[in-house]
């Protein structure tokens, strides 16, 4: 499966490199887009869930790395509370080999 990375900027300016085991992340997130925090978390939850399901369909087991990544995203998001102005910017989406999409 084509592994992907997506680079996000959190509301405090911190940059995080995130992992997806599938290109499905591109169906949920767009480079350059700014998402309200809750929307970003939900999009990530959906995308990583679908990606894990694709791994399960192909290999017979869910992708623990996708689950771990979602847990990291949810933990980071929790640190910003429910501030209505909190937003996450998707800086880039690349293949795991570093090539831009």
Q: 51: buried, middle or exposed (CB in 10 Å: 19+, 13-18, 0-12)?
A: buried
Contact status, residue 22 vs residue 50, Cβ threshold 8 Å: yes
Would 101 be classed as within a structural domain?
no
Range of the domain at 33: 4-95
Could you report the per-residue pLDDT of 55-94, keeping only the tens digit for each?
999 899 988 999 999 999 999 999 998 777 899 999 999 9
Specify the 3-state DSSP secondary structure of 70: helix
Let me know if residue 35 belongs to a domain. yes
Count: domains in the chain? 1
**Domain assignment of residue 44, yes or no:** yes
* pTM listed for this prediction: 0.91
């Amino acid at each position: 499966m084509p592994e992907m990375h997506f680079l996000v900027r959190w509301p405090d300016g911190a940059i995080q490199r995130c992992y997806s085991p599938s290109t499905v992340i591109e169906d949920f997130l767009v480079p350059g887009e700014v998402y309200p925090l809750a929307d970003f978390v939900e999009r990530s939850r959906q995308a990583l869930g679908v990606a894990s399901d694709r791994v399960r369909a192909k290999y017979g087991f869910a992708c623990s790395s996708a689950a771990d990544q979602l847990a990291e995203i949810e933990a980071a998001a929790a640190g910003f509370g429910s501030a209505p102005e909190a937003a996450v910017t998707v800086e880039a989406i690349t293949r795991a080999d570093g090539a831009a999409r």
